[in-house]
Amino acid sequence: MLYLSLFWTFFKIGLFGFGGGYAIAALIQHEVVDVNAWLTVTDFTNIMAISQTTPGPIAINCATYVGYTSTQSIIGSLIATFAVCLPSLIIMGIICKFLIKFKSNKYVSYAMSGMKPVVLGLLASAALLLANPENFIDIYSYIIFGIVAVASLFKVNPIMLLLLSGIAGFYIYA
């Protein structure tokens, strides 16, 4: 039953996952933390951070982790990962087939234009979700956050920011 629940949960996440990992972070948190209680808010924040620093899409990395931890098996991990990918494969196959044919259609253009503000809103939701005060440990985490936020405004390389933040965290908290 847990495997079926995992499949259905991550299939829904994959089906409605417009805009990428951060855009659906609120949906993932709702399903994984609030509805199914597979992770705590702190665990969810940690896996979002780890998913960002490891290769691959955030939703897939999150599904892999949740599938493994909730079932304590690689099978659970594979089921969740497959379920989150399946809708994308189906939808992208359909879109690729028909978008080329209808890309100059004004209604298709209107629909694509209408999706942009939705994705922007979902990204803003993810930013607010991850900026939750529960995720800040102490004054040092606020300082790191502030420095990274300001550096991002100046278009500092995100990889450099991740590495420097990791080094700072290691020296501060070790």
Q: How confident is the model at residue 82 (pLDDT cuts 50, 70, 90)?
A: very high
Distance CA 67, CA 36 (A): 12
Q: How confident is the model at residue 21 (pLDDT cuts 50, 70, 90)?
A: low
Assigned token pair, 59: 């939703």
Q: Tell whether the model's pLDDT for residue 42 goes beyond 70.
A: yes
Q: What is the mean pLDDT of residues 123-127?
A: 76
Write out pLDDT tens, residues 128-152. 777 777 777 788 888 888 898 899 8
Q: Tell whether the model's pLDDT for residue 69 goes beyond 80.
A: yes
Distance CA 96, CA 17 (A): 17
| CA proximity to 85, closest of 162, 13, 159, 167 | 13
pTM, two decimal places: 0.61
Q: Indicate the helix (H) or strand (E) that contains 127.
A: helix 106-130
| CA proximity to 86, closest of 2, 9, 5, 3 | 9
| Bigger pLDDT: 41 vs 20 | 41
**18-27, 33-42, 129-138: which is most confident:** 33-42
User: What are the φ and ψ backbone dihedral angles of 141, each rounded to 5 degrees?
Assistant: -70, -35
Distance CA 95, CA 89 (A): 10
